Amino acid sequence: MGKSSRGIGAGNMLSLVTVAFNNPAELEKTAASVLQQTVQPHTYVVVDSSDEALQPTMRSLASLVGAKYVWTPPTGVYPAMSESMKHVPDNSWVWWLNSSDWLAGTKSIESVVDHIDAIGKDGAHWIIGELLRSRKGVLSLHETGQSGEEFLRLLESGRTGFPHPSTIFWKPSLTTLHPYEDGFTIASDYAVALRFGRVFGPPQLIPTTLSIHDPTGLTARHPLKNLIEKSQSRARMGLSDLASEVWRLPFSSSHAVVKRLVGEKKPAPTGGRAANFPLQSNHPFDAPLKIDRLDEAQ
């Protein structure tokens, strides 16, 4: 796949998946952030649900970065993620970086590969790095706590969400849970994380900023539905009962509004304690692959 795949071999393969839908400009930015990595994933898959007219463009963008292109009917992001599981090696770590996300610095993949090498394939079932949110150009840091155990407590209590684009799963473990097939349209990733934590224990946290997310998707557009689905998923896991979840919804809604207004914990301008890059100079991905290069891939 172009640049070195140092450290990625049998037993510690890293597969990257991007789900896209009628958004070539976003896919271009995401794919460019992958192309500029110091280490490339063993497998890169673009799962697309775009309209027929856009499919050649999306396929060409995938080709430019050496990704396998898969089209699937437009039934939602989670069905597409479930479909993507069929296209990555079984003996692999899998990392979803959807087309609303991009890798934070040029060493994001290298950092994950180094961590996988250090822990060994039997040392963990899931890995979580730091996630930055970029809302109108303002960066904020997603709260994960100081340890995997603390993260799981925050997740189970609903005090933090799931940092999806900075989470990497060991596929053989994830497959046993039949992920993203629970019927939730917004909080399916949250529900998967709850079940995964219950079965396999807390994740390993690595103090590295892995990805940047633009929080303008379904969660932002339907915050109440997101809160309801998260409440339902906690009740299903026996972490609470539906009556208590109904009472806490107004408070959760108010808290979500306050967080949006005041922002989450903001990192230092130079990347802070954990970033592996200077944030202010980390925007080569804002001007990624040029569309006029598409002709070369067709």
Average pLDDT per run of 10 along the chain, which is 298 residues long?
Answer: 40 90 92 89 97 96 94 95 95 94 89 87 83 79 92 92 93 93 87 94 92 74 81 82 48 47 42 35 37 33
* Cα atoms in the Cβ-side hemisphere of radius 13 Å centred on 111: 24
Can you give the pLDDT at residue 88? 96
Question: Is position 257 within any domain?
Answer: no
Give me the DSSP letters along 234-298.
HHHTTSS-HHHHHHHHHHHHHHHHHHHHH-SPPPPTT-TTT-SS-GGG--GGGS-S-GGGHHHH-
Question: Is position 87 within any domain?
Answer: yes
Question: Is position 2 within any domain?
Answer: no
pTM assigned to the model: 0.79
Question: Is position 106 within any domain?
Answer: yes
Q: Are 26 and 99 in contact (CB under 8 A)?
A: yes
Question: Is position 243 within any domain?
Answer: no
Q: Could you give the CA distance from residue 101 to residue 133 in angstroms, rounded to a whole number?
A: 9
Helix (H) / strand (E) containing 29: helix 24-35
The domain spanning residue 205 has which CATH number?
3.90.550.10
Can you give the pLDDT at residue 133? 83
Domain encompassing residue 144: 13-214+267-297
- The SS3 assignment for 27 reads helix
The count of structural domains within the chain is 1
